[in-house]
Chain A
């Protein structure tokens, strides 16, 4: 028998209090609050029908795809303001070679991910080499990428929107990876047994779950695993908590940060791939303000702006709150002129509630 003598350095923490101290707890509570609000104000309007749910989940999913790696980067103490422009840039990188140079879509996609990853690495390198705040460096990339996108697109196409991707992507092996629907069979069956409503023409109200939602969940789980179960995750926390101490302990802070900048750039490219293949077109204005929305989602999710604390699951809740609030107001029947006031207020209330719950949980430990 192994002796039961406990090491005095290890504190025993109950499962409940461990749960209560998770950064995403407050965000989960905020999500519940928002759902209760809309259940009361818009419960019977179709927001919580299958169509309504897919409606807000699709908006949440696209933002969430961006927010998960942005959360990791912010935990490591850095910002990436270039992700919004990167979306516009990546969209054009996919569309122009396909539409104007006859590249197959899969090749354009690979090319885009490679170029965006490279730019992400440059962002990271610029931050760690110059020691400038990432806020400034990536603000620079924000403008440079927008300018590059506009210059390239107008130079090559004479327009600012490139359409015609749908027809080209029809038989592409990678198309369904980004623009398809999943669980169509299940949905059809649920509709047959009456659990999901039908449209006027007799088809189910939704034809499946947009694949972007699957991407969102998979990416969030992958980032969570990376953060909490891998050595790289420890490096992220260490780099954001106290970079110099971490460096002294042998944590490769620079490499960690550069990797994270590559990840946020790739997430922006993924966002763009989904949007271009779903809408069939690319536009130089795509992704406008997404950098802020991603940061908002991450902060609602309980990640500290100063770094060192946060989670990817929290970012998922943040994106969910954002999507529900964005779409929910349309179902409430409130005059949409008040939209932004309402959205801002909901956000602040959700974050306040979030930090209130978290503080209570921390104190009770």
Chain B
């Protein structure tokens, strides 16, 4: 019934196909600039998906070859191996995120030592980037963005808040919550959430039932914000309990327009994908590189500005 030979033939065919595809891509013109991204964010994550769109658009517009790599889970050992592997392949520029300095410093240093120019995006910060010999840091300081969000809520006169974190343990999301508490100037409990939207929504409902005096819910990403909006709707608290979020999505922007959400914080991460590709192209051709860091966020998208970016969000640019 089951013959190994029958399975082996198509498998070999498939393998041959992949090999040819790989060969075709490596045979591209040698003088074409090649930029490789190694980040901790899977392209399946809505936030990183926008970064990758920026990279793809820049590569297409400028005729640059760009690749995007990320471990399929939050695995720093694997990410370090990826950086080593890419260093060995000698790209014209490498773009990395450094969410864990202890695990990634050595491979990044090695890349710099091997003569590969490195730009750090999203996580890592300016000091670490320059300590490791990176050219510049681009991104949003998550803690600082959290502080600014907290200050805005303090200005509204609200004190009882909760940070609804759909992925506790992800350091940049934890930083957002911690910064928020600092900016607000009071303790802010963290509600442990999940990716599953039904469970996330019901956890917000449960939390709000048990802590009915909560005045503000901070979501730290679209996966937490959309269920939070649904929960408030269901409880009849929409607009009464205030809420705001990091990152954008069409649903979030519509809620901001409708006054159901105070603001969405845009890290403008499209730029983190687009600009390094352009910079490395200029670097390879003319040895031109900006001399200072490039902060991309936080940009607060409020009721006045939300409507104008909805279409862009649908396209994965914002």
Contact = CB atoms under 8 A, between A and B. Distances in A.
Contact of A199 (B198, B210, B235, B249): B235
Interface residues of B, number: 43
Interface in B193-208: 195-199, 201-203, 205-207
B188 interface: no
Interface in B205-233: 205-207, 209-210, 222-223, 226-227, 230
Contacts of B195: 285-286, 288
Contact of A159 (B1, B49, B207): B49
A45 B314 CA distance: 40
Contacts of B50: 159
A185 interface: no
A352 to B, nearest CB: 25
B230 A159 contact: no
Contacts of A280: 251
Interface string A321-351: 0000011001101001101000000000000
A327 B203 contact: yes
A4 interface: no
B309 interface: no
B286 interface: no
Contact of A330 (B7, B206, B226, B236): B206
Interface in B225-247: 226-227, 230, 235-237, 240
Interface string A251-275: 0000000000000000000000001
Contacts of A51: 205, 209, 235
B191 A336 contact: yes
A58 interface: yes
Given A51-B209, A52-B209, A157 B316 contact: yes
Contact of A164 (B199, B202, B237, B250): B250
A203 B238 CA distance: 14
B315 interface: yes
A275 B199 contact: no
Contact of A131 (B2, B201, B222, B240): B2
A154 B206 contact: no
A159 B316 contact: yes
Contact of A200 (B199, B209, B240): B240
A287 B43 CA distance: 17
Residue with the greatest number of chain B CB neighbours at <10 A, chosen from A59, A129, A160, A200 = A160
Given A164-B250, A331-B209, A283 B223 contact: yes
B126 interface: no
A189 to B, nearest CB: 19
A281 to B, nearest CB: 7
A163 B1 contact: no
B45 A160 contact: yes
Contacts of B237: 200
B206 A159 contact: no
B53 interface: yes
Contacts of B49: 154, 158-160
Given A159-B46, A279-B226, A55 B2 contact: no
Contact of A154 (B43, B190, B191, B235): B43
A277 B155 CA distance: 38
A47 B235 CA distance: 15
B316 A158 contact: yes
A290 B194 CA distance: 12
Interface string A31-75: 000000000000001110101100110110010000000000000
Nearest to B240: A200
Contacts of B45: 160, 285
A277 to B, nearest CB: 12
A150 interface: yes
Contacts of A129: 1-2
B60 to A, nearest CB: 13
A48 to B, nearest CB: 11
A45 B210 CA distance: 6
A82 interface: no
Contacts of B10: none
A159 B205 CA distance: 28
A200 B205 contact: no
B197 A55 contact: no
B21 to A, nearest CB: 14
Contacts of A160: 43-46, 49
B46 A55 contact: no
Contacts of A287: 196
A59 B198 contact: yes
Interface in B170-189: none
B268 to A, nearest CB: 16
B250 A279 contact: no
Contacts of B198: 58-59, 62, 275, 278-279
B278 to A, nearest CB: 19
Given A280-B251, A286-B196, A337-B190, 12 more contacts: A46-B210, A51-B205, A55-B206, A58-B202, A163-B226, A200-B236, A200-B237, A275-B198, A283-B223, A326-B199, A333-B210, A336-B191
Top 4 nearest A-B pairs (CB, nearest first) are: A330-B206, A158-B316, A336-B192, A199-B236
12 contacts: A45-B210, A62-B198, A154-B52, A159-B314, A160-B44, A160-B49, A199-B236, A279-B226, A285-B223, A327-B202, A330-B207, A333-B210
